[in-house]
A and B are shown apart, each in its own frame.
Chain A
């Protein structure tokens, strides 16, 4: 079994709960994992550490089978937050699809013009300036690995955004009129 030499780097990123996306600055690492049998080799290798290497559409991440109530609560809280954030971005003119580039100033401008967006933004961040509010959210998504900062003002949407979409599509809504809003 030939483990790639980038394995420690891969582990240190994934074990922090981060994603490795194909279209980000870690694209090289993505290619390494995606190369020939490496995915299978690494999956087996990491399995000894209790982490499961998982593959999404153009991204990789770790999963772990352990569950306590506090984690559960945190997860619910966290995901509820992502619903808010995703709702904010999907209400904008430019949707958060893979490869989308957002400029903080541009988002802030759109919020000035759109009262509904503005309200959503105000609910999400308590920072004083509009630009800072947007920046805070963008940084949150960057920390999660869904965005990547390209320069001071620009953020790019990573392949890992599919992960959030995947979870959202798993949720079924019971509509009162009996219609199922599955996607």
Chain B
């Protein structure tokens, strides 16, 4: 048996179960009884109490909020379906109030009139807002195309209803304006003024909504034409006629959207300055670890190299030993040019050409001039060049500086003529 609930009881019950009410409001029709009972804030007794008081209903193990609670919350939060009946009710109430007040100038009726006017104001705005929200939501999120179209048609009708109600309200207020003027009441005039303003604003808003609904409906109908066209195009494509019977190629050629371009990812280089920072260091360490670059640090020494693996590098290394050559020259008595020309280089240095020996001679005179004596005399010699031509070459006679004296005279070096 159900005992009648007091307001206090009702509010308390709702408060005690606020989490569950919120959850049930959030997912209508899809909450299992076990799911509710699994919650920490819910027990069998509590649930039983809610069911007995008709705050929630249980049907086939599915728990749902009572419709009155749902409507109450929706009303308050200005969500849910658009209903014109509220506005209508208030208009009726306003008419009634006006009628009674004309018969009997009772303050009680005046209060009713004011309340109705205020309510028309708030409900109209609220319903218009809801209408807009729902239209947008339907267009963007309703998945079934047929239902979407029908819903939009429905909202279009609702818009017409609201517009009519607004007109009706305006009519009533207009007619009653003279009557309102006879009543000296500051509050009443401000309420009326505000309502007039709201009605005008909402009418503008609804006109905007109207064009939006029509736009949406047109789009959807346009879409159904598109589907037919797509299927026709597909047919043509299957018959390989797409290129000949349509301007497919031209249309696609005109497309400039990036979407059809080859996607080249933008590449940028790492900032060197960044790599020098601590953060950069950490990053490189991380990358190195990932690529196993640090593995080398734990590697064992490599095995012995195969003998003669660097044969190709021999010439390079022999040319480096000029210091040794100069040292030997210091001990000899001959002049530098002769020495370099006749010196028997080790086998690994290979056979040095005449030109190479000359450049060696020049190099030594420049690099080691502190240890050399430039006599100021010239020698000359003849040789046969690669083209079998006789050539003469003159050269400065340079000897080892046995007294360690720094030679200051400018030198005139021999060059191949």
Give the residues in chain A near B141, CB-CB below 8 Å: 23, 99
Q: Is there an interface contact between B260 and A78, defined as CB atoms closer than 8 Å?
A: yes
Nearest first, the 9 A-B pairs at minimum CB distance are A87-B234, A90-B227, A63-B256, A95-B145, A62-B258, A183-B225, A17-B258, A75-B260, A99-B141
Closest to A87 in B: B234
**Residue of A87, A94, A101 touching B233 (CB-CB under 8 A):** A87
What are 9 contact pairs spanning A and B, CB under 8 A? A15-B266, A17-B257, A65-B256, A87-B233, A97-B148, A167-B251, A171-B251, A173-B232, A183-B228
* Interface residues in chain B, defined as those with a beta carbon under 8 Å from any beta carbon in chain A: 139-145, 148, 219-220, 222-234, 236-237, 242, 245-249, 251-253, 255-263, 265-266
Closest to A173 in B: B246
Give the residues in chain A near B139, CB-CB below 8 Å: 98-99
Task: Determine how close the nearest CB of chain A comes to the CB of B55; give it in whole angstroms.
Answer: 32
Given contacts A23-B141, A78-B260, A101-B143, 16 further A-B contacts (CB under 8 A): A15-B258, A16-B265, A18-B259, A57-B219, A61-B259, A62-B257, A70-B262, A75-B252, A75-B255, A79-B248, A90-B226, A90-B230, A97-B145, A99-B142, A99-B148, A183-B229
Q: A83-B234, A169-B229 are in contact. Are A17 and B252 (CB under 8 A)?
A: no
Q: A79-B260, A145-B259, A169-B226 are in contact. Are A174 and B246 (CB under 8 A)?
A: yes
Give the residues in chain A near B261, CB-CB below 8 Å: 17, 64, 66, 71
**Residue of B144, B228, B256 touching A94 (CB-CB under 8 A):** B144
Counted as pairs of residues, one from A and one from B, with CB atoms less than 8 Å apart, the total is 141
Interface size for chain A: under 10, 10 to 19, 20 to 34, or 35 or more residues? Answer: 35 or more
Residues 64-90 (chain A) with a chain B CB within 8 angstroms: 64-67, 70-72, 74-76, 78-80, 83-84, 86-87, 90
Residues 29-51 (chain A) with a chain B CB within 8 angstroms: 51
* Interface residues in chain A, defined as those with a beta carbon under 8 Å from any beta carbon in chain B: 14-19, 22-23, 51-52, 54, 57-58, 61-67, 70-72, 74-76, 78-80, 83-84, 86-87, 90-91, 94-95, 97-102, 144-145, 159, 163, 165, 167-174, 181, 183
Closest to A18 in B: B259
Q: Is there an interface contact between B220 and A97, defined as CB atoms closer than 8 Å?
A: yes
Give the residues in chain A near B228, CB-CB below 8 Å: 183
Task: Determine how close the nearest CB of chain B comes to the CB of A178; give it in whole angstroms.
Answer: 13
Task: Determine how close the nearest CB of chain A comes to the CB of B42; give it in whole angstroms.
Answer: 27
Give the residues in chain B near A144, CB-CB below 8 Å: 259
A58 CA to B265 CA, complexed, in Å = 26
Q: Is there an interface contact between B246 and A80, defined as CB atoms closer than 8 Å?
A: no
Q: A17-B259, A99-B142 are in contact. Are A173 and B226 (CB under 8 A)?
A: no
Q: Is there an interface contact between B237 and A80, defined as CB atoms closer than 8 Å?
A: yes
Task: Determine how close the nearest CB of chain B comes to the CB of A148; give it in whole angstroms.
Answer: 12
A38 CA to B226 CA, complexed, in Å = 32
Q: Is there an interface contact between B245 and A174, defined as CB atoms closer than 8 Å?
A: yes
